[in-house]
Structure 1
């Protein structure tokens, strides 16, 4: 068997910690972990360690947290580790070319999309929002571009009509950990070569913002349902409910019942046994069917339970999504 590789890991959130955990269980030697500096978190805004830092410390790894990788002394410190390869997963800092050149076998990235589709910051959510029927992870040899490097391995997984952003995140995190270990095993034995990304099919996954989460019921039901699922658990799709917000956590596209007339977009129609039905589309001829939601001051609930507890707040005929404009 070929000798194990000496690996420096760089990552920050839970998604990255899954890959680090897989590497720690592999035959390869993780010798240090880079992660972003501790940031304020929670109601008390106390400094909190990243998931990668917590996991690294549990395993006795040296943890390095530079604000940037551009300084010569930071690059010298990386070089002194004498790693064979660097694995980067959702690190959050730009790697200058000087850093990419330090490990003899370069830097690998675990990217949560089927490159070249969804390069950029939010590939998981954008794939669901766009209605893609599959996603996956790509192990990429990093270069100076934005997710433009040659591909070493691609692993795929389906996106179903009920897949949420959180569920796809967890699936891809696990898939990414398995894939990076597979790639390192193959590289160590010299059994893998990289393939350039196709020139066609490039899309960019812009960073998520809270402003996007407000639903516009003039849009088609399929578009709205995809957004609801993509933005669960963050930033969470919502619409105005009186002077407050109704948060929508799971939805599918549906249609008007036989004999049911179109209503203004945003109108709460007669309920299904376990779903809110909201008129949508430019003419109010489509239906967003919501099966999980959260009323102001309440907990996220299946709609069946929500209707049992708070039916007076969700009376058919209620117009959602307009009160903020009317009271401003």
Structure 2
């Protein structure tokens, strides 16, 4: 049971390991773009490529769907970012239960967006947990865990790709452990649990009153979606890559009176912005209606002045 790109690697790993996949469950096809043409989920595309049966229930608790699942007599249900809440009768149906692949070190970062928040919060480590599902939201017993150290320039996208591979391999190990009886479920410590909500586009708006460190992590965490942004002369201005600076020796404005969000230095390949603490050096940017580009190319193609302040115009 899975839907997005993150789930595909696990399906492929299960097949490669020689397990019999009797069916694949994914979200219903959704209309996309102006044409409103129905688009298959990445998991459905992968399943069809392997000639596997695909089920797409509108609601997982639908009695007809529940009975159809029962007829497969599956040993285990593997759940990876499926996107629907499973009822108790499905969770308890297979011999080995429902095994979930979750992209965090549970009980930290239960919920919808653990990958992005690991970057946004500046975690040194993230990882994947395989879990015996229960009726709660990511509250089931831990089966296996694998940690991963984040790169200093880790983005939400790069961590997503890494954890998809880690999760696929860990799930295969977990299935072996369950079959052999060598995996012992460990209850989560509720006192250590944290929840993260779904990412919304509005989260990407940069508050230059915050520190450069916090802003730079937001930029990486929301790359590639929904991206961090501000406003430049009434237009949306995305910042895709940046560095943090403690000081700006080449500033051409008075730093003591500069506003947060103000451009205090224009360099050959970057522009430097004052923040609530430190300075943000923007390296890759995108003005509304234009392509992503390095800041040097942007500056050569646009007349940007020192002292310009980013943000919504009052």
2:124 to 133, 145, 149: 133
2:259 to 259, 264, 279: 264
Instruction: Determine whether 1:46 maps to 2:37.
Output: yes
Instruction: Determine whether 1:254 maps to 2:249.
Output: no
Counting only pairs closer than 5 Å after superposition, residues 73-92 of structure 1 correspond to structure 2 as 73-92=64-83
CA positional deviation for 1:274: 2.9
Separation in 2, partners of 1:289, 1:158: 25
Partner of 1:276: 271
TM-score by length of 2: 0.95
Separation in 2, partners of 1:274, 1:87: 48
Partner of 1:186: 177
- Count of aligned pairs: 310
CA positional deviation for 1:252: 2.8
CA positional deviation for 1:258: 3.9
CA positional deviation for 1:259: 7.7
Partner of 2:308: 318
Partner of 1:304: 296
Counting only pairs closer than 5 Å after superposition, residues 18-57 of structure 1 correspond to structure 2 as 18-57=9-48
CA positional deviation for 1:272: 3.8
Moved more, 265-274 or 100-109: 265-274
CA positional deviation for 1:268: 1.1
Partner of 1:13: 4
CA positional deviation for 1:311: 4.2
2:59 to 53, 68, 77: 68
Give 5+ residue unaligned stretches, structure 2: none
**Residue aligned with 2:198, SS:** coil
Can you list the C-alpha shifts for 1:230-276, whole angstroms capped at 9, x where unaligned? Answer: 11111111001111111111123222224852310110121344322
Given that 1:15 and 1:170 are in contact with CA atoms closer than 8 Å, whether structure 2 keeps it comes out as: yes
RMSD of aligned C-alpha atoms?
A: 1.4
CA positional deviation for 1:130: 1.1
Alignment CA distance shift 1:256-1:67 (3 Å): same
Can you list the C-alpha shifts for 1:124-157, whole angstroms capped at 9, x where unaligned? Answer: 1111111111111100010111101111111111
Separation in 2, partners of 1:235, 1:51: 19
Separation in 1, partners of 2:302, 2:151: 30
TM-score by length of 1: 0.91
1:173 to 164, 170, 182: 164
Separation in 2, partners of 1:104, 1:45: 41
Partner of 1:288: 280
Separation in 2, partners of 1:125, 1:322: 25
Separation in 2, partners of 1:302, 1:158: 28
Separation in 2, partners of 1:303, 1:45: 36
Moved more, 89-98 or 243-252: 243-252
